[in-house]
A and B are shown apart, each in its own frame.
Chain A
Amino acid sequence: MRDYRMMVKAYEEAGGTPSIFKDPKTAHLVVNQNSVLGSRSTDGLTLAAREKEGGIDVDLRVDEGIRVANPVHLCFGILPKEGRQEIKLNALIKNGAETTILAHCVFPNPLKVQHIMDATYVLEDRAALKYEEVHYHGLTGGIEVIPRTRIRVGKHASIRTNFTLIRGRVGRLDIDYQAEADENGIIEMVAKVYGHGEDEIRIRESGRLFGRGARGLIKSRIAVREMAQSEVISEIAASAPDARGHVDCVEVVQGEAKAKAVPLVSVLHENAQVTHEAAIGRVNQKELETLMSRGLKEEEAVELIIGGMLK
């Protein structure tokens, strides 16, 4: 019980609203390291978590046609300074079902912490999922985050993911998301990360549009400062008629930081189209001088521009 209270408190300090864990109409799961501290399913939505040696298995299922009113809250964290968390998550969103998942990952004092997520999302036809993952890491930087996600989007189904890590130190982040979309399916994957110190950021997001009329967007907004490094690989392959994809990557570099962007676009059908745009470098001089002409100092203007980009 003490761990549960501490976890909820850490979640609250990271900006969460703890009252949602008491709401009987809101499904949730609270995990500290590899211990399940609390969970709740709701009508038409089953959320089951099992502890196993060295990790946790989570099954999430939304029944056919169910539109889940309140977002599902997943709260993962490691409160001690050292520890390893490994979560295997299998989600099945049945035909025509819709839900939103808000995953809060709270690691307030990491010195030697590892968070590994191995997730599979299957969206059946006309299903819809919004998945928002927000990390708060504290300022010590001793953390590795390794999320691996495989997504299958059915006909006329859609998934929108949003990964945000802009508070605290990143540590080492190695994202690997791979998604594929069938006919008129939609994939949108957005990542926003702010690296400091000696943080290492590696993001690989890939979308395969194999169904007629499938749509894909991979968008990343990365800021790195001091000695931080980032590498973003954004890949879209369109292999069906009327499939459309777009890759949009912006990386802002300050100080001694280094950034690399690799857009990989491929078109394997004459009626498919994929576009990409990427901008890497210092904060845009025009933006900077515009804000400075309103009286902001250079550092204030840079923070405002980066803050807006990561918002």
Chain B
Amino acid sequence: MLKIENLNIRKDDRVILREIGLAVNSHEIYGILGPNGAGKSSLAYAIMGCNGYRPYQGKIIFDGEEITDLPIWERARLGITLAWQHEARFEGITVEDYLMLGMKKVEGGELVEALKNVLLDPKEYLKRKVDKTLSGGERKRIELAAIFTMRPRLAILDEPDSGIDMLALDRIIEFIRDLRDRGTTVILITHRADVARIAKRAALIGEGYLVREGSSQEVVEYFENRCLVCPQFR
């Protein structure tokens, strides 16, 4: 479904991703693992097409079509979306409006189901604003609920586990599996080995390079025990 070929990205005169090549299959959960600052979020922004993350070399191919030069919104309309690690706040926009943004057909039941799936009470949250009155954890869950209502073909989840308490973590993992079962391919970015294990396959990024790719079990084991570019081994 998604193929990345020899991707190189420079930001502020520094190369932040080098020679990245990987392929994600339809309907799989694909993990991207790595320490802080490795380039995981940069890869997410590059796939989404964010400003400042256009490659100077390499290609991004989605469903056989090269999307390297497409703007964000065109990629979104092809079915790609991103759940941001540090989510934006919006003054005056309700949770209800926010959840409806990417929906092809608006159904009230879908909004309720989406919020329940991330353990938020629809009665309390639908009319609330997506602004700074929400806690970090609440905002994170609403971001995931918005991915659920959008029903994308490819969802990039950038650290969906950050800011989530341990009790809710199991539910979030379940949510990611549900998303896959509804037909969404998931790229799951995390630096937590326990979360990465739900992926079928995974890649390890370190210092901007793809260090290793394989089954999530194998990559997690390598990340935890033998990754020479990871800080714990320096």
Contacts and interface: CB of A to CB of B under 8 A. Distances in A.
Interface of A: 221, 250, 284-287, 289-298, 301, 304-305, 307-311
Interface stretch (B29-37, B87-95, B117-125): B87-95
B88 A286 contact: yes
B143 to A, nearest CB: 9
Contacts of B81: 293-294
A292 B73 contact: yes
A307 B93 CA distance: 9
Given A304-B93, A308-B92, A309-B92, A294 B87 contact: no
B71 interface: yes
Contact of A309 (B48, B51, B91, B150): B91
Given A293-B48, A295-B77, A307 B92 contact: yes
A308 B71 contact: no
A311 B92 CA distance: 6
Nearest to A307: B92
Which of A291, A293, A309 counts the most chain B CB atoms within 10 A?
Answer: A293
A194 to B, nearest CB: 13
Contact of A296 (B51, B73, B90): B73
Given A293-B48, A293-B82, 11 more contacts: A284-B88, A290-B84, A290-B87, A293-B84, A294-B81, A294-B102, A295-B73, A297-B73, A301-B73, A310-B92, A311-B91
Interface of B: 48, 50-51, 71-73, 75-77, 80-82, 84, 86-93, 101-102, 146, 150
Nearest to A290: B88
B50 A289 contact: yes
Given A294-B146, A295-B73, A289 B92 contact: no
Contact of B101 (A285, A287, A295, A297): A295
A292 B93 contact: no
A304 B130 CA distance: 13
Nearest to B73: A292
**B interface: dominant SS:** loop
Given A289-B51, A307-B92, A295 B84 contact: no
Contacts of B48: 289, 293
B90 A287 contact: yes
A291 B90 CA distance: 10
B88 A298 contact: no
25 contacts: A221-B91, A250-B91, A284-B88, A286-B84, A286-B88, A287-B88, A287-B89, A287-B90, A289-B50, A289-B51, A290-B87, A293-B48, A293-B72, A293-B75, A293-B82, A293-B84, A294-B146, A296-B73, A296-B76, A304-B93, A305-B90, A307-B92, A308-B93, A309-B92, A311-B91
A240 to B, nearest CB: 29
A87 B178 CA distance: 63
Contacts of B102: 294-295
A78 B230 CA distance: 71
Nearest to B103: A294
Nearest to B99: A294
Choose among B80, B82, B86, B91 the residue with the greatest number of A CB atoms under 10 Å from its CB: B91
A178 to B, nearest CB: 26
Nearest to B143: A290
A140 B89 CA distance: 35
Contacts of B80: 293
A287 B86 CA distance: 11
A296 B88 contact: no
Nearest to A309: B91
